[in-house]
DNA sequence: AATAAGAACGAACGATCGTTCGTATAGCGG
DNA sequence: CCGCTATACGAACGATCGTTCGTTCTTATT
């Protein structure tokens, strides 16, 4: 019985297919334009069938944030853990971040860039989740800045993150890929190992 | 006949009242959550009455961008024109920008920060307008960077704008006003006159 | 073979969306 | 005083929103 039995042993569950599409859509058009009807149409499902996998729209949005965050971690953070702590790992983290933008891992650029501006000012579980997960990324950055001997790790974290996000939004709005190289110039000046 | 005649000679026209509210709402929750019904309820108007002032939702959104852009220019750009071109004016522009954020001119922080991330990836007149008006701000910045003798004005523009926007989004999401001082530290290092 | 569990469906709900229409009211120019 | 224009209104439109419900079908367990 090697052949998949159609439902249970699917290589990718329906829920995963939904979230894969959902995370791309959210990065491109925001978490609010994730409508159940549109997702269902795009994936050839019924609204009620899709809905049943989550139970509410908010659950769908939270699950989407979870996946977006996981993809970010897998693409940017994990591959940097092979580097020694401190300056080398810090550099790798930042340049991975830039690569992830440049390679358009998400249709709409940085997942955080799209989603955090949207829920900045709307208290609730969604904002809380974004705060916590994006905060974790900043924690990782700050730890490595500290290990690299930065005199003010918090300051350095702010600067590095701002430059990368600046490159993202400039690229998204104006479409000039040259901003990534501009960001590299600035980052090389900021990072402890040049 | 000095007394206002209730409709024509209003100190503030209904249209202006709508847009004043609309621009605040857009900065806080985005241009898409500007619903006609909600605006009408908030302002004590009927949906159709409010609608008549614009003719379509897109016109309302474009008018909102116009006003947001105008307020930005009035708050950040104009007061810097008193400074001599070059380094002094460049500094004034940037620090005005920071002040405008810190004083919460808009409920949702920087108008551009809220609105540009939202329409990054949606071609159409709204994105075009944001591109053009935000582009004008970057032009102003680049001109002054050039006049200040920066060796790469485009690079400097990118860096300055990224840091200020980074402060905005960090403040919006995490609420710590200390980021503005962090931004000042970085900007002082970047600006030609320290 | 009987049963329980899960996935997906279609139909329908009340609410809200943007928009259209016809109408009433007001102020202004002739 | 009459008509014009602008302002605002209420009612209604079709579409879509998130959500609920009951049903069918498949798969897994007993």
Residue A148 sits in a domain whose CATH number is 1.10.357.10
Domain count, chain A: 1
Q: Which H/E stretch holds residue B42? A: helix B36-43
Any CB–CB contact under 8 A between A190 and chain B? no
Is the pLDDT reported for residue B53 higher than 90?
Answer: yes
**Among all chains, which residue has been given the structure tokens 């050039």?**
B146
> CB-CB: which of A158, A166, A172 is closest to B120?
A172
What would the pLDDT profile of A12-42 be if each residue is shown by its tens digit? 899 999 999 999 999 999 999 999 999 999 9
What would the pLDDT profile of A133-169 be if each residue is shown by its tens digit? 999 999 999 999 999 999 999 999 999 999 999 999 9
Rounded Cα gap, residues A132 and A128, in angstroms? 6
Which bases of chain D are under 7 A from a protein CB atom?
Answer: 7-12, 16-22, 26-28
Rounded Cα gap, residues B67 and A180, in angstroms? 32
Residue A47, CB, strand D, below 7 Å = yes
What would the pLDDT profile of A90-143 be if each residue is shown by its tens digit? 999 999 999 999 999 999 999 999 999 999 999 999 999 999 999 999 999 999
Specify the DSSP class assigned to residue B84. P
Q: Is residue A16 part of a domain?
A: no
**Average pLDDT value for residue range B132-153:** 98
Residue A33, CB, strand C, below 7 Å = no
Is the pLDDT reported for residue B57 higher than 60?
Answer: yes
Q: Is residue B57 part of a domain?
A: no
Nucleotide nearest A46 (Cα, C1'): C9
When comparing pLDDT for A4 and A191, which is higher? A191
Rounded Cα gap, residues B4 and B12, in angstroms? 11
Any CB–CB contact under 8 A between A162 and chain B? yes
With cut-offs at 50, 70 and 90, classify the pLDDT of residue B193. Answer: confident
Predicted local distance difference test score (pLDDT) of residue A3 = 33
Centre a 10 Å sphere on the Cβ of residue B11 and count the other Cβ atoms it contains.
Answer: 6
Residue B117, CB, strand C, below 7 Å = no
Predicted local distance difference test score (pLDDT) of residue A193 = 83
Residue A35, CB, strand C, below 7 Å = no
Predicted local distance difference test score (pLDDT) of residue B4 = 36
Nucleotide nearest B35 (Cα, C1'): C17
Rounded Cα gap, residues A22 and A47, in angstroms? 14
Q: Is residue A44 part of a domain?
A: no
Rounded Cα gap, residues B163 and B186, in angstroms? 8
Predicted local distance difference test score (pLDDT) of residue B12 = 86
Is the pLDDT reported for residue A10 higher than 70?
Answer: no
Predicted local distance difference test score (pLDDT) of residue B148 = 98
Any CB–CB contact under 8 A between A20 and chain B? no
Q: Is residue A116 part of a domain?
A: yes
**Among all chains, which residue has been given the structure tokens 């108008």?**
B111
Q: Is residue B138 part of a domain?
A: yes
Percent of chain B with pLDDT over 90: 93
Any CB–CB contact under 8 A between B120 and chain A? yes
Which bases of chain C are under 7 A from a protein CB atom?
Answer: 7-12, 16-22, 26-28
Specify the DSSP class assigned to residue A83. S
Predicted local distance difference test score (pLDDT) of residue A5 = 35
With cut-offs at 50, 70 and 90, classify the pLDDT of residue B3. Answer: very low
With cut-offs at 50, 70 and 90, classify the pLDDT of residue B8. Answer: very low
What would the pLDDT profile of B165-188 be if each residue is shown by its tens digit? 999 999 999 999 999 999 999 999
Q: Is residue B39 part of a domain?
A: no
| Contact (CB<8Å) B117/A114 | yes
Q: Is residue B69 part of a domain?
A: yes
With cut-offs at 50, 70 and 90, classify the pLDDT of residue B189. Answer: very high
Predicted local distance difference test score (pLDDT) of residue B2 = 34
Centre a 10 Å sphere on the Cβ of residue A153 and count the other Cβ atoms it contains.
Answer: 18
Q: Is A82 helix (H, G, I), strand (E, B) or coil?
A: coil
Residue B58, CB, strand C, below 7 Å = yes
Range of the domain at B112: 65-190
Shortest Cα–Cα distance, A37 to chain B (Å) = 18
Query: How many residues are there in chain A?
Result: 194
Q: Is residue A41 part of a domain?
A: no
Predicted local distance difference test score (pLDDT) of residue A121 = 94
């Amino acid at each position: 019985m090697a052949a998949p039995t159609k439902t249970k042993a699917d290589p990718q569950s329906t829920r995963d297919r939904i979230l894969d599409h959902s995370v791309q859509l959210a990065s491109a058009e925001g978490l609010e334009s994730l409508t159940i009807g549109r997702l269902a149409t795009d994936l050839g499902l019924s609204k009620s069938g899709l809905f049943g996998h989550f139970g509410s729209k908010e659950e769908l949005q939270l699950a989407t944030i979870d996946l977006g965050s996981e993809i970010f971690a897998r693409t940017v953070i994990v591959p940097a853990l092979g580097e020694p702590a401190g300056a080398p790992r810090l550099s790798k983290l930042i340049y991975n971040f830039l690569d992830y933008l440049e390679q358009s891992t998400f249709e709409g650029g940085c997942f955080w860039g799209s989603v955090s501006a949207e829920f900045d000012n709307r208290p609730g579980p969604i904002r809380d989740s974004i705060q916590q997960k994006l905060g974790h990324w900043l924690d990782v950055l700050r730890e490595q800045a500290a290990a690299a001997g930065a005199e003010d790790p918090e300051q350095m974290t702010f600067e590095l993150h701002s430059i990368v996000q600046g490159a993202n939004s400039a690229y998204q709005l104006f479409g000039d890929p040259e901003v990534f190289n501009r960001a590299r110039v600035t980052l090389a000046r900021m990072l402890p190992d040049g």
